[in-house]
Structure 1
């Protein structure tokens, strides 16, 4: 069952819950999706047990900077469902100052393939399954 479809992506069920899947083929380096007005914060509203707030860096005074869980009504809601894999096929290029991100293919991706990030690339403290 497809929960949400937006352009080249769709959120649907997968063996580990829900994931983000490609609706078409993408080549290496191709921009898959963009996101604007990101929920960037030093105090995520997403509870730690949900693990939806991705640590993306630090502020000048050393506080952790998070891309927090996106609201269900947000155009960026799909980002909550990017799953982790050490064998990732996408990368987020995040500009925290502009509150934007670009999802880029790091490998060739086929239509119907699930998209995976390596959460640890953004900060070693990010949760990731073993």
Structure 2
């Protein structure tokens, strides 16, 4: 195998086709409210590095942060495949100390259900989320 055996992939979630948008993350077993779903490693990008993403397929897969020194994070694991929902069933936090994105269940998620996050940060935020079209990239 070309990857380290020390990397733990979550056994209770999987990526598959989503009715919401392309691929999504789904629960393979019941996940209880408050449970850590995934701790995904991240790298923080400078504003210049973020701008270069505009010319790549990675452009739609990064997280914006409201931190002046670290405005953008690119996440590994499954984190970039969680779809947006204004009624999200999960939420995320960043740990700068661990360089990780933590995904938690906002409410109990049944096996087979898609796990969604609100891209605005809070699970119940009703603000519009702007998704640029292919022409705007």
TM-score by length of 2: 0.70
> Are residues 98 and 82 of structure 1, via their aligned partners in 2, closer, same or farther at CA, if it must alter by over 3 Å?
same
Q: Highest Rg: 1 or 2?
A: 2
Question: What residue is the counterpart of 1:88 in the other structure?
Answer: 88
Matched, 1:23 2:43: no
What is the root-mean-square deviation of aligned Cα atoms in Å? 2.7
* Cα distance change on mapping 1:120 and 1:35 into 2, 3 Å: same
Structure 1: tracts of 5 or more residues without a match: 71-75
Task: Classify 1:6/1:29 alpha carbon distance in 2 versus 1 (closer, same or farther; 3 Å).
Answer: closer
1:57 aligned residue: 66
Larger relative strand fraction = 1
CA drift of 1:46 comes to 3.0
- Specify every segment of 5 or more residues in structure 2 that has no aligned partner in the other structure, as ranges: 1-8, 133-137
Q: List per-residue Cα deviations over 1:2-29 (Å, max 9, x = no partner).
A: xxx7411100001221001111101111
Calculate the TM-score normalised by the size of structure 1: 0.73
Count of residues in correspondence between the two structures: 114
Higher share of residues assigned helix: 2
